[in-house]
Structure 1
Amino acid sequence: MKKIIGITGGIGSGKSTVLDLLEKNFSAYIIKADDVAKQLMEPGGKAFIEVVDFFGEEILLPDGTIDRKKLAAVVFANPNKRIVLNSITHPLVKKKIMEQIACLKAEDTYEYCFVEAALLIEDHYQTVCDEFWYIYVPETLRRERLKASRGYTDEKIDSILKSQLTEEEFAKACAHTVDNSKDLDFTLSQLEKLLQM
């Protein structure tokens, strides 16, 4: 495997679109921290028991799985509870991602592994990745996209943006910036250049 690259960027920057382009056009394996977290939060998953122990059975659906909307509402309303949730899930997610990368290196099927995590920088994924790429889209366009695709209000977008790093902080922590504000061809041409370096 040539490189393990971390993908990060603010909400609405189109990280999923970039990951799709990488998966379809290059020898790339994609790991999304959110997907890993979901697996760990399934009944029997390592995070499930600890989360239910702390937050109580009222966060469970009738089928015994965690009601993600209810849990999100609880942690959104109480920053301290969000800290607890993160302290349970993030170390487990990181450990699982490191295990996946070790397997990928052993199999040696892919040239690249891309790891996408909301807190890539804050959770010190530089110990896992060779470099970080910042997916950039101007805030005005990100706001438009979030309203159109997710129906978010300005208030909701404001509160999310407040909890994320600034454009300057993202750019400073990343080796490269990918401008994802135009069409797919524009983004793809940047990815091609970066992977030829």
Structure 2
Amino acid sequence: MLRVGLTGGIGSGKSEVARRLAARGAVVIDADRLAREVVAPGTDGLAAVVGAFGEEVLGPDGALDRPALGRRVFAHAESRRRLEEIIHPRVRARAAELERAAVAANPDAVVVHDIPLLVETGQQGGFDEVIVVDVPEELQIDRLTSARGIGVDDARARAAAQASRDERRAAATVVVDNSGSLTDLDVRVEELWRRLRSAASGDEGERRGRDLA
């Protein structure tokens, strides 16, 4: 089994890389999806969030109102920390369960943990490979504003709330440049997949340089 951490700044195209790895046979464990799962209605995670932030963060259907919660925590470091203390341990416990199941099914599995805040939460040391999907900062902002309809100031604030580009690159064992087309990305992910499969099987011969550009 090879444990892989996959990360990248908002707007970098990390999800495109994750989809391509899954299509090639990787087991992808999506931390964002698990973060929603652990606060679904009826969970102890949702009860803990309500206990910390009040019933104002619930929608009329009793589910978590994410925009309302975001307004409460986004600009306040202490509130974000409280939320992370609720969410992160539950996400990691669920991810570990899914990883164990993947390895039980295939001892040579490539298990990719898709974690947006991998560097920010200091998890990079727990993986055999750390894949960082990288784009220049201005392209990152352009993608957020054009593809997601986010205002420029909001896009810059969201990017600034994450680790810097240099911090992510410093944590990487492999950097995937995604500043080109999706066709370019296909080529780089194929090369990445060969590297990961070789590492999972113990064959170091296919492992090449740090940057896939």
TM-score bracket relative to the smaller structure: over 0.9
- Quote the RMSD (CA, aligned, Å): 1.6
Q: 2:104 & 2:163 partners in 1: Cα distance?
A: 34
User: How much has 1:78 moved relative to structure 2?
Assistant: 2.4
Q: 2:120 & 2:97 partners in 1: Cα distance?
A: 20
Where does residue 5 of structure 2 map in the other structure?
Answer: 6
CA contact (8 A) 1:6 1:114 kept: yes
CA contact (8 A) 1:50 1:88 kept: yes
Higher relative contact order (CA 8 A, sep 6+): 1
User: How much has 1:56 moved relative to structure 2?
Assistant: 1.0
CA contact (8 A) 1:46 1:92 kept: no
- Among candidates 139, 148, 151, match of residue 150 of structure 1: 148
Instruction: Provide the TM-score with structure 1 as the length reference.
Output: 0.92
CA contact (8 A) 1:12 1:142 kept: yes
CA contact (8 A) 1:98 1:128 kept: no
User: How much has 1:16 moved relative to structure 2?
Assistant: 0.9
Q: 1:5 & 1:109 partners in 2: Cα distance?
A: 15
Q: Deviations over 1:139-169 (max 9, x none)?
A: 1111111011111112112211221111111
Gaps of 5+ in 1: none
Instruction: Provide the TM-score with structure 2 as the length reference.
Output: 0.85
Tell me the secondary structure at the aligned position of residue 142 of structure 1. Answer: helix
User: How much has 1:128 moved relative to structure 2?
Assistant: 4.3
User: How much has 1:109 moved relative to structure 2?
Assistant: 7.8
User: How much has 1:14 moved relative to structure 2?
Assistant: 0.5
Q: Deviations over 1:124-144 (max 9, x none)?
A: 334542211010111111111
Paired residue total: 195
Where does residue 21 of structure 1 map in the other structure?
Answer: 20
Deviates more, 1:144-153 or 1:180-189: 180-189
Q: Where does 1:112-191 land on structure 2 (aligned, <5 Å)?
A: 112-126=110-124, 128-191=126-189
Deviates more, 1:99-108 or 1:184-193: 184-193
Which one-letter code corresponds to 1:72 in the other structure?
Answer: G
- Match status 1:93 vs 2:91: yes
CA contact (8 A) 2:120 2:162 kept: no
Where does residue 197 of structure 2 map in the other structure?
Answer: none
